[in-house]
Amino acid sequence: MERGRHIYRNHWAIPAQQNLKIKNSSKEDLEVVLYNPSQTSDLKYMNSSNELKVLPKNDSVKTRINFANEFYVVNTASSESTFRLKILNNSGRIKAFIKKQLPKN
């Protein structure tokens, strides 16, 4: 994981106790920078191996995401949170959907 300054062109508001599902049309394993600008609460994200990892408040994480699988950002806070995403070397289109529940595996 790396930290640093990035320009985020994609951002979404995630309602309290809901999840953001992100799809990329390129279906590749890409490097991404995830950013949680909240000053009060952490977010969580589900990686390609269905592990929930913490995205700390007011911090960014650089990681790899396989967009052939589903990718979720989870808001467990009692208030709306904003999430920002930068996909490095992306050639596809990004779509995002709000979901109330995570998939069961």
27 vs 93: CA distance, rounded Å: 10
61 vs 49: CA distance, rounded Å: 17
Is pLDDT at 3 greater than 70 in this prediction?
A: no
Which residues contact residue 10 at a Cβ distance below 8 angstroms, ignoring those fewer than 6 apart? 84, 85, 86, 87, 94, 96
Tokens of 78: 């009692």
79 vs 102: CA distance, rounded Å: 18
Q: What class is the 10-99 domain?
A: mainly beta
Give the residue-averaged pLDDT of 69-88: 92
Tell me the residue type at 77.
A
Is pLDDT at 2 greater than 50 in this prediction?
A: no
Residue 42: predicted pLDDT: 96
pLDDT tens for 6-63 read 667 788 999 999 999 999 998 889 999 999 999 999 999 987 777 899 999 999 999 9
